[in-house]
Amino acid sequence: MALLPDIDQARSKLGNLAKPVSRAVQKGFGHRTITHSWVILLVPSLLFGNSPAAMAALWGILSHLISDMLVGRIQLFWPLRFGWIGIPLSKRMYSAIDQIVFYAALGYIVYTGYQ
């Protein structure tokens, strides 16, 4: 589910699997618009209701949106034109933050695993 927002790009992994849908979304809305907005956050509960699967899917999609906001801008408040938000970081800064988050998460998993 974390890949779902990038269905708006025909060259993405999911876009390759669902090319007609991907091309239609890309042509109709553009990249990082409706599929990177509050609208996509409704999909997990529509598909899975109020279940652990819905929560897992929601966190996957949220992590995608946050990651995209760190390397560019997304239209989180689509269809509002002023709804573009993000903190574009350099690739070097993004890699550093990615490493920090990875090791923090790994440390958390190891720490909670021993309790």
Binding interface with Zn ion (CB under 5 A): 5-6, 68
Distance (Å, rounded) from C-alpha 94 to C-alpha 37? 22
Distance (Å, rounded) from C-alpha 50 to C-alpha 19? 30
Cβ proximity to Zn ion: between 6 and 78 the closer is: 6
Cβ proximity to Zn ion: between 38 and 103 the closer is: 38
Rounded least distance, CB 100 to Zn ion, Å: 21
Cβ proximity to Zn ion: between 2 and 24 the closer is: 2
- 43: tokens are 């999909």
Q: What is the DSSP letter of 70?
A: H
Rounded least distance, CB 77 to Zn ion, Å: 16
Distance (Å, rounded) from C-alpha 36 to C-alpha 77? 9
Parallel/antiparallel/unpaired status of strands 84-85 and 74-75:
antiparallel
Q: Is 74 strand, coil or helix?
A: strand
Rounded least distance, CB 6 to Zn ion, Å: 4
- 15: tokens are 């876009």
Cβ proximity to Zn ion: between 14 and 68 the closer is: 68
